[in-house]
Chain A
């Protein structure tokens, strides 16, 4: 349980990584690293395919990132009918992970620049749901 609270549309309910959602509720966006080989995983996964082991630990993505690419979505699939326009983006963070998420609505279209500094933050959604979002970093 836990993942039913995640995202605008939740397709997953159960996961060994459900603590991710608990962290989001506390305002933290977490990734995972392998205790054995140090490999970092985002999206988080509690199993490391490199050493085929499941000894992993959480770490917070709190550093700066930069915008790798984006698209402004003018047409959403079922479940997102009233959300468009929304911007999907990829950010690359100094912790060594990339994050795919929505980009803050408050950023105007002509202010979106590839390479712009970003941070990733936890956000709350209607219906007591949570997610994360990329925002401009000062």
Chain B
């Protein structure tokens, strides 16, 4: 390898001048130019380090926020999924709704049955009223017959003459009682007729209501079955969506995590650029004393080599091929 000074002059297209002063001037100019160029390189590398570091720090912060938000969203989704699925929660909720609605239907059925029982009672009342009416009619017939008997008794009393006078009084009293009985039975029959009419009306209303109730119960049962079925279908869809969300959330979080891990390489880039920058700075310092001698140049190179912290820095320095990139290793002591 040529000495550092020779390689630099060749790179700049300069030749050694053998005339004393001109040689010195050409070298001094080259030194000055190279020194100035070195400062430019330092500044550019510094700026690149700062820009890269700031950009990656900002990106890392942003990805960190995304990771945190994803974690929160994932936790909420998993909680919801657990509530839907855990311990048969979904089927339990549908069954619970079904059971509650069945209770409601059963209570409606009880009310209808009670109504029907009342209708039966009303029917019994109607029958009782009819029997009462028949009894009243019997009393009416008995009073009519009694009146006839009293008339016959008076006729016979009249035939008996004076001996029959007492009997005639009794017959008159019987006739009066029969007439009174007849009047009462007629009153009873009128009242019974009114009661019967009211009860019949109530019975008709109850029967009509029962028909409507039965129809309502059937419609309600059909609605309940449909609601429960739709509820079950909806909850299945929600569970599927929840599972899908959980899966997507996990995949996204894993992707964000992988992206974040790649930002570690920024640290390596910054360090490597720092080593180059520091070497440029040392070179600039060395140029202040004139073009560095060969030992001084070698010292600069050794200093650069010593600053390396990563194996690949040494390989690049020696222009060796890169082996397969290895990831971080771990040594436990």
Decide if A and B are genuine partners: no
